[in-house]
Amino acid sequence: MVSTTPAGLKIQPRHMDFDFPNPLPRHWHSGDAFKSHLFDAMSVLFPDGERFFIDSVRNFREQITDPELLAQIRGFIGQEGHHSREHLVYSDRLRDLGYDVTRMENRAKKRIHYTQKKFSAKRQLAATAAMEHITAIMADELLRNDKQMKGAHPMMRQLWRWHALEETEHKAVAFDVYNQVGGNRKILHRAMRIGTFFFIKDTFLGLAHMLKEDGLLWNWRVWRDGLRWMWGKEGAFRPMIKTYKDFFKEDFHPWQHNNIELLYATRLEFDKAQEPAAA
């Protein structure tokens, strides 16, 4: 079983500069309010979250001597920086539609500020490694099953696939840094439990707010279909129960979920244009 990051894995940011539809179609994901707003609610949390991830890895950069990991840290910081930038434009489009994005952002900002003030740098890094696992397992599902983005606005599909690809590429960076600086599993597991709780809570509050603005908060069909899409027999989140739990195994490493082939396949979609022409 793999318990390390594949040797020679390159992590390079891609400059995308998405041309977001303006206005953003309110239900850009297949005309479905629940699906669209679940993605929206997560997206709003990303810019602040990703800045926190960058900071918490940066705090330990000087302690890392392995040149390969140092290169991956650079790639990780570049990728998360670009994600933040694109998701901020996304947030502005949501604001234009009348959603109280600032309130959602402030909730995340407050929580991050508290974490940075009250917890040690090591615990902050543990939180980052944990949250990166959550993004990694969601990214895997999104890339693996094309149906998850079926019917979505093409540019939005592209944005989420790009983000999922890069989350897959750098999924073990914070984890490897945490290990190299002697982080222990108990703190890591605790960080995961707390992080999961707040991530679900903040995403849910964002989703509920946007559904309320759409006049759909009390529409039982929206919830029935949405929850079925998430947790039903073929549900998008179903396969993640196992991969989520794996994080709590004593010898867990993110690349034990070896999706390198999926990563290579997805790269072809994005990197074709940048490959040097054959001589």
Binder to Fe ion among 35, 83, 122, 133 (CB under 5 A)?
Answer: 83
Q: Work out how close the CB of 132 gets to Fe ion at its nearest, in angstroms, rounded to a whole number.
A: 5
Backbone angles phi, psi at 29, to 5 degrees: -95, 95
The distance of Cα 270 from the centroid of its chain, to the nearest Å, equals 18
Pick the closer one to Fe ion by CB: 47 or 206: 47
- By beta-carbon proximity to Fe ion, the closer residue of 48 and 214 is 48
Determine the size of the site formed for Fe ion (CB under 5 A). 3
Based on the shown chain and the rule CB under 5 A, indicate whether residue 133 belongs to the binding site for Fe ion: no
Site string for Fe ion, 159-188 (x = CB under 5 A): --------x---------------------
Q: Shortest distance, CB of residue 171 to Fe ion, whole angstroms?
A: 7
Residue 131, C-beta contacts closer than 8 angstroms, at least 6 positions apart: 49, 53, 195, 199
Structure letter (DSSP) for residue 25? P
**Contact pattern for Fe ion over residues 40 through 79, marking x by CB under 5 A:** ----------------------------------------
Could you tell me which of 4, 2, 10 has the C-alpha nearest to residue 267? 10
Quick check: 111 binds Fe ion (CB under 5 A)?
A: no
- Nearest distance from residue 178's CB to Fe ion, in Å? 14
* DSSP for residue 29: B
Q: Give me the amino acid identity at 213.
A: E
Shortest Å, Cβ 52 to Fe ion: 11
Q: How many residues does the chain have?
A: 279
Of 77, 75, 69, which Cα lies nearest the Cα of 53?
77
Half-sphere exposure of 79 (CA within 13 A, CB side): 23
Comparing CB distances to Fe ion, the nearer of 24 and 172 is 172
CB closer to Fe ion, 208 vs 260: 260
87 forms part of the interface with Fe ion (CB under 5 A):
no
- Cα(194)–Cα(128) distance, integer angstroms: 12
